[in-house]
Structure 1
Amino acid sequence: MIHYHAIITGRVQGVGFRYFVQGEAVNRGMKGWVRNTDEGHVELKVEGEQQEVLDFLKTVREGSPFSKVTDMQMEQLPEFAHYQDFRIKG
């Protein structure tokens, strides 16, 4: 199991990007959350099996048909939050 935090920048607000991320996460059995930031970015935290999380993050980096990801900063977190599901926050 691994736990990642990511900040995604680009055209990622107002284009359904959080719903895209949530759908990908749920389909892959990921746990965590995604939300918009006040700075116009999208932030997420995700937990799951290593290869599944890395594949998920690669798909998020590629973006949805209506988004344009220009950068994605990621860091692996040392501790687990034990999320119950994957949800859109605030």
Structure 2
Amino acid sequence: MVAMHVHITGRVQGVSFRAWTCERARELGISGWARNRSNGSVEGLVSGSSEAVETLIAALHEGPPAAEVKDVRATETETHAESGFRIHG
């Protein structure tokens, strides 16, 4: 099991990015959360098997159809998410 803090920039708010991420995460069995930041980015915590987390992070580079992702930063963390995936604020 691994946990990654992710930060996504670009046109990622107002394009259902968090809901899309939540769907992908649930399909992959990943726990965590996603939230909008005041600077227009999206931040999240994802935890699960290495393979599932790598798959989700790769998908975040594309995002939903209306998104324009500029950058995805993923940093390993020791903080693991509670079971399930949630959208915050």
TM class by shorter chain equals over 0.9
RMSD: 0.9
Q: How does 1:1-90 map to 2 (within 5 A)?
A: 1-77=1-77, 79-90=78-89
Alpha-carbon shift at residue 61 of structure 1 (Å): 1.2
Amino acid at match of 1:80: T
Segments of 5+ residues of structure 2 without an aligned counterpart are none
Amino acid at match of 1:48: G
Segments of 5+ residues of structure 1 without an aligned counterpart are none
Alpha-carbon shift at residue 80 of structure 1 (Å): 3.5
User: Which consecutive segments of 4 or more residues in structure 1 shift more than 4 A?
Assistant: none
Percent sequence identity over matched residues? 38
Q: Is the 8 A contact 2:46 2:81 kept in 1?
A: no
Amino acid at match of 1:83: E
Secondary structure of 2:7 counterpart: strand
Hey, what's the Cα distance between the residues in 2 that align with 1:74 and 1:47? 12
